[in-house]
Amino acid sequence: MNIIKRSGVEVSFDADKIQNAVVKANRTVGEAERLSNYQIEEIVRKVTAKCDEMNRAASVEEIQDMVEEEVMRHSAYKVANHYITYRYKRALVRKANSTDQQILSLIERNNEEVMQENSNKNPIVNSVQRDYMAGAVSKDITNRLLLPQEIVRAHEEGIIHFHDADYYAQHMHNCDLVNLEDMLQNGTVISDTMIEKPHSFSTACNIATQIIAQVASSQYGGQSISLTHLAPFVDVSRKKIRATVIREFEELGFEITEAQREKIVEERLQDEVCKGIQTIQYQVITLMTTNGQAPFLTVFMYLNEAGDDKRLKEDLAMIIEETLRQRIQGVKNETGQWITPAFPKLIYVLEEDNISEGAPYFYLTELAARCTAKRMVPDYISEKIMMQNKVDRNGEGHCYTCMGCRSFLTPYVDPETNRPKYYGRFNQGVVTINLPDVALSSGKDMDKFWEIMDERLALCYQALMCRHNRLKGTISDVAPILWQNGALARLKKGEKIDKLLYGGYSTISLGYAGLYECVYYMTGKSHTDPAAMPFALEVMQHLNDACKAWKEQEHIDFSLYGTPLESTTYKFAKCLQKRFGIVPGVTDRSYITNSYHIHVTEEINAFDKLTIEAKFQALSPGGAISYVEVPDMQNNIPAVLALLRHIYDNIMYAELNTKSDYCQKCGFDGEIRIIEDEHGKLVWQCPNCGNQDQDTMNVARRTCGYIGTQFWNQGRTQEIKDRVLHL
């Protein structure tokens, strides 16, 4: 059994320290008011048992709270008072230098919580440590000076989660759809250097990766680009290659037929497309941005985005095919073994021309299915369902990519052109409401539930307006690549970004987490049960109604967002246990459920899961993704294709979770398992050789819509361990 110290270091539980603390407090009072030795031993035994029942590492603060309760239970009020006073004095001392302690602990690599905060950041490398150091300072300034104290308290208690406080002090936004088309077609500026329209596909790919790196260093969330914006440069290269081939054969004095010439041209073009896509894949995963990780990039593959231009669509299909083939192959790790990379995330659109056998682009869908079975991507958007869900003010449905893993913009029509616009837009930030806390705070009183819900939503609204106002007044000079040079806008130097914050151009997100636990506590049933589903949908609608009211009041596009909890799933679980104890089915695990998802332990088949979750996904306009957990599907591609057809007909956005692991010590490439060590801590172990050294294994798991490869905190690790197969 372990505990987590205030510095974040995880150490073995030591009951003697509890006993020593109580003995010291006991000595400070008169003999008549002291606890007996038997009572002290009983207090230590009770606290130890409580810690053991938690099934996770308790924090020092939680243990001290337990000690206070047990001392009070023995009516030793004066001892308890002295113990509390000592804690308060020590807290004042720590408050003066808590940021220093946190920074020093992460530099020395012994801060367990920080080291497992982000599954795509390696906390050992200097750039990541530098980002965490800056984040610690930013959080300190944010909590002491920038945010209202009621928001800080609500965040610390886990009532709400104020996301990305480590970037709040700066005027930075969350995520975006990069207007790559504008930047490539009209030129851009990178590091004060003019970049003109590229004259080949390979150059366009190179420029795109530089844009991606610059954008990633100027915001803190995900970004997305479309391969459609690269497709026009395939024909630019084709014409360039054709001219070269003609010249070469003229110089040699050889005559060839047009068919022979075009065959040579297409072969050379295919080679260039291969190298261009390779540039994107390898540069994205090897670039290191200023926040210490590879750019959090999503690549969008949508054939109909090419419109009716047959040549452009065929060239786009060529790019998509090459992208899928290279991802199936994977990338080599340091030992030369082909493994699954975390980025870029791929999204493939299922549409009429590729969903059925005999359709002209069905071969791409078959390739995508093989890629998913091998590498967990691409994820899938149904053009049909998305056009039903995303309808603009002109009554037209649209299909477009999310920003990063799941954050979707709301439909928007440019008032100047009366045309839809998605690329160049962004999200201002996220604040998440803890739904299980609302339920538990109500004590199952339904009237009280809605009353508390509205109180918490008022807190979220206040926190979201803090985010909005932090961006308001930002001048374009803070991130020229974003605001001046085309990624998001073409503003003038010194111009404020304010006009982009209103009227629906950008969104701001009300996140939610733990719908399952909320519904289970209030009804005693899962939200998959027909008796409980109406209440679950009512909760979702209530959250949407709040966003609508705020939007009308502020002329800002508030939108409901299914939060992709990573480290926060553990934090929320710990806070719930601290506030309400162990409530079976609600707080008895080290995690809570992401957004509207069906609980990871619930036995349900893949098709039913997607059908049910589609009802809730439609009520998450600001972002959501569903998944099904499947075994190794590499030898069962027809089953993958059956799932893709079901996605196309039933749900807007979904993914298949497989396993993709490799043990560097023995060469095992099956599933690396999660076990409990002798201290009750969850660790990863190779089932072939018993290796538990995370530095010598490659593990890839879907975390929150994206793939994580740097391991996870104990809460998320337990969630991964508990997942059941849906197929």
d(C-alpha 171, C-alpha 470), whole Å: 6
Q: Three-state secondary structure along 99-131?
A: HHHHHHHHHCCCCHHHHCCCCCCCCCCHHHHHH
Q: Which residue among 54, 66, 115, 175 is the active-site one?
A: 175
Distances (CA, A) of 373 to 286, 350, 564, 627, 673: 24, 17, 23, 14, 19
DSSP labels, 4-55: E-TTS-EEE--HHHHHHHHHHHHHTS-GGGPPPHHHHHHHHHHHHHHHHHTT
Amino acid sitting at position 678: E
561 is catalytic: yes
405 is catalytic: yes
Given CA atoms 139, 142, 143, 145 in this order, what sign does their dihedral have?
A: positive
CA 500: distance to chain centroid? 24
119 is catalytic: no
705 is catalytic: yes
Q: CB within 8 A of 164, min separation 6: which ones? A: 174, 220, 221, 429, 430
Q: How many CB atoms lie within 10 A of CB 75?
A: 12
Residue 17, CA atoms < 13 Å, CB-side half-sphere: 9
Name the β-bridge partners of 392. none
Name the β-bridge partners of 190. 193
The total number of residues shown for the chain amounts to 727
51 is catalytic: no
Q: What is the separation, in whole angstroms, between the first and last Cα of the chain?
A: 35
In the block, which residue shows the tokens 């809730």?
616
Residue 7, CA atoms < 13 Å, CB-side half-sphere: 15
d(C-alpha 112, C-alpha 488), whole Å: 37
Given CA atoms 707, 709, 710, 712 in this order, what sign does their dihedral have?
A: positive
Secondary structure element (H or E) that encloses residue 247, with its range: helix 232-252
175 is catalytic: yes
The DSSP code for 194 is E
Given CA atoms 707, 711, 716, 718 in this order, what sign does their dihedral have?
A: positive
d(C-alpha 176, C-alpha 168), whole Å: 17
d(C-alpha 482, C-alpha 369), whole Å: 35
Q: Which residue among 51, 115, 205, 405 is the active-site one?
A: 405
Strands (E), 523-576: 557-562
407 is catalytic: yes
- 3-class secondary-structure state, position 658: coil
Phi, psi of 713 (to 5 degrees): -75, 175
- Supply 646's token pair: 């079901």
Q: Which residue among 167, 220, 561, 627 is the active-site one?
A: 561
Q: Is the peptide bond before 344 cis (omega within 30 degrees of 0)?
A: yes
Q: Which residue among 143, 174, 206, 382 is the active-site one?
A: 174
d(C-alpha 202, C-alpha 198), whole Å: 9
Q: Three-state secondary structure along 286-324?
A: HCCCCCCCCCCEEEEECHHHHCCCHHHHHHHHHHHHHHH
Task: Classify residue 341 by burial, with Cβ atoms within 10 Å: 0-12, 13-18, 19+.
Answer: buried
d(C-alpha 616, C-alpha 560), whole Å: 11
Phi, psi of 498 (to 5 degrees): -55, -40
Q: Which residue among 7, 206, 382, 427 is the active-site one?
A: 427
Strands (E), 202-344: 223-226, 297-301, 331-332, 338-339
Q: CB within 8 A of 343, min separation 6: which ones? A: 120, 284, 285, 294, 295, 296, 297, 706, 707
d(C-alpha 719, C-alpha 435), whole Å: 18
Q: Which residue among 10, 322, 566, 629 is the active-site one?
A: 566
Q: Which residue among 2, 218, 226, 407 is the active-site one?
A: 407
Q: Considering only CA atoms, which of 433, 430, 432, 426 is closest in space to residue 412?
A: 426
Catalytic residues: 174-175, 403, 405, 407, 427, 561, 566, 705
